[in-house]
Structure 1
Amino acid sequence: MPATADTETHHSLVELRQYTLHPQQRDVLVDLFDREFVETQEAHGMRVLGQFRDLDQPDLFVWLRGFADMDSRRRALEAFYGGPVWSAHRAAANATMVDSDNVLLLRPAWPGAASELPHHARPEPGVTGTAAGVLDATVFYLHEPATPALLDYCRHRMAPTLQRGGARHLTWYSTDDSPNTFTRLPVRAGEHVLLGLALFSDLAALQAFADSGAWARDVAPGLAPWLAAAPEAHRLQPTARSALHA
C-alpha cells in the first residue's frame, strides 16, 4: 500500500512548479529529471512529491516539491542548487526550458486536506514511460485568501462531487504568503489560489467524470462568487518514477 500520512505531517509547504519547454524537449527533461534530480534533492530533506507530463500541453512539465517549513526550504534549496549534482546537469536542464518561473507556494488548505496524497515506492533510475493514473490538477484563482466559507464548500460540495465521480484520492492546497527566502528561484506573489488535486485511475475515468456534467451542475454555480478568473485545469500523466500515481 502507498504511504500517505507523511505528505502533510512532514511537508507542510508545497511548490507547484510548471515549466514551459522548447518543442520536443519534454522527454529530454523528464529523462534527466527522473535519473538525476529525485534522490539527490531528497537527500537534502525535501520531497519530490510527483512529476508529470501535461496531456493537453506537449511542452509543459509539471512537478510538486514539498518542505517541512520555510527555514528548511531555504537550507535545502541552498544545498542542492549550490551542490555538485545541479552544477553538473544545470546546463542540460536549462537548455530544455523557455520558462521555469511559474511557481506557486502552497500549504494544506485545512488540517488534513493533504493527508490523502499517495506516495508509492519508485522504480530504480533508468525506467522510462509513464505510471498509472491521471491527476486532475485545478488552480482556482480567488478574489481573496480562501475563506472558511469557501473551504466548507470545498469539503462538503466540491470534494464529494469528485469522489462520487471516481476520484480515488483528493488533496487541497491554498496560497502560502510567506516571503520567498530563496530568491534565486522566483515564486508568484500577490495571488490567492486554491489548488485541487484529484487522482483518477486512468484517463477514461477522468473523462467519464467530465462527461457526466456533475461539476458544471452541482459545483460551478456555487463556486463562482469566490473566483477572480476562470479555473486553470491540467490533466497530468505521472512519469515512470513519480511517487504520486494511481
Structure 2
Amino acid sequence: MPVHELRIYTINRGMMDAWLACFQKDVAPLSKQFGIPIVASWTNTDRTEFIWVRTFADEDDRKRRTESLYGSSAWEQMKDRVRSHIAKTEVRAVEPTSFSPLK
C-alpha cells in the first residue's frame, strides 16, 4: 500500500520567498533524483508554513529512499542552507483511505 509523507515546515519569519526558491532549486530536484515524487505543496494563508506531500510505494520504499537521499553527498552539501529557513519540522506518514482520490 502506498505511503505518503505529510511534511509541515514552519518557516523562519520573513524567509518564505527565499524558502520557496530554495525548495524549487534544491529540494524538489534532489527528491526527484532519488525517485521520491512530490505530489503537492502549499503555503498556509499566513505564509508561515510550507506544507508538502511526497509519496512512496510502501514503508520499505520510504525507508530506503529517504536513507539514500539523506546519506548522499548532494544532501550533505545543501542541508545547512535548506535547514536555515526552517524553524520547525513535522513529518507524518499517512496512508490513503479506500475512497481517497490520492492513492
Do they fold alike, i.e. is TM over 0.5? yes
SS at match of 1:63: strand
Q: Match of 2:87, as an amino acid?
A: V
Q: Which runs of 5+ in 2 are unaligned?
A: none
- Whole-Å separation in 1 of the counterparts to 2:97 and 2:28: 26
Choose the corresponding residue for 1:83, options 66, 72, 75.
72
Instruction: Say which structure is richer in helix.
Output: 2
Larger radius of gyration: 1
Q: How much has 1:60 moved relative to structure 2?
A: 0.7
Choose the corresponding residue for 1:103, options 83, 91, 98.
91
- Whole-Å separation in 2 of the counterparts to 1:29 and 1:90: 13
Partner of 1:114: 101
TM-score (norm 1): 0.39
Q: Match of 2:101, as an amino acid?
A: A
- Whole-Å separation in 1 of the counterparts to 2:63 and 2:16: 28
Residues 47 and 65 of structure 1 are in contact (CA less than 8 Å); yes or no, is this contact kept in structure 2?
Answer: yes
Greater RCO (CA < 8 Å, at least 6 residues apart):
2
Q: Which runs of 5+ in 1 are unaligned?
A: 1-10, 118-246
Partner of 2:47: 58
Q: Match of 1:65, as an amino acid?
A: R
Residues 36 and 85 of structure 1 are in contact (CA less than 8 Å); yes or no, is this contact kept in structure 2?
Answer: no
Partner of 1:30: 20
Q: Match of 1:21, as an amino acid?
A: I
Q: Percent identity?
A: 22
- Whole-Å separation in 1 of the counterparts to 2:33 and 2:47: 30
Q: How much has 1:17 moved relative to structure 2?
A: 0.8
TM-score (norm 2): 0.88
- Whole-Å separation in 1 of the counterparts to 2:48 and 2:6: 16
SS at match of 1:39: helix
Partner of 1:40: 30
Provide Cα deviations, 1:51-93, integer angstroms capped at 9, x if missing partner. 22211x2211111110001111111001111112211111111
- Whole-Å separation in 2 of the counterparts to 1:96 and 1:37: 12
1:17 paired with 2:10, answer no
SS at match of 2:101: coil
- Shift >3 Å, 4+ stretches: none
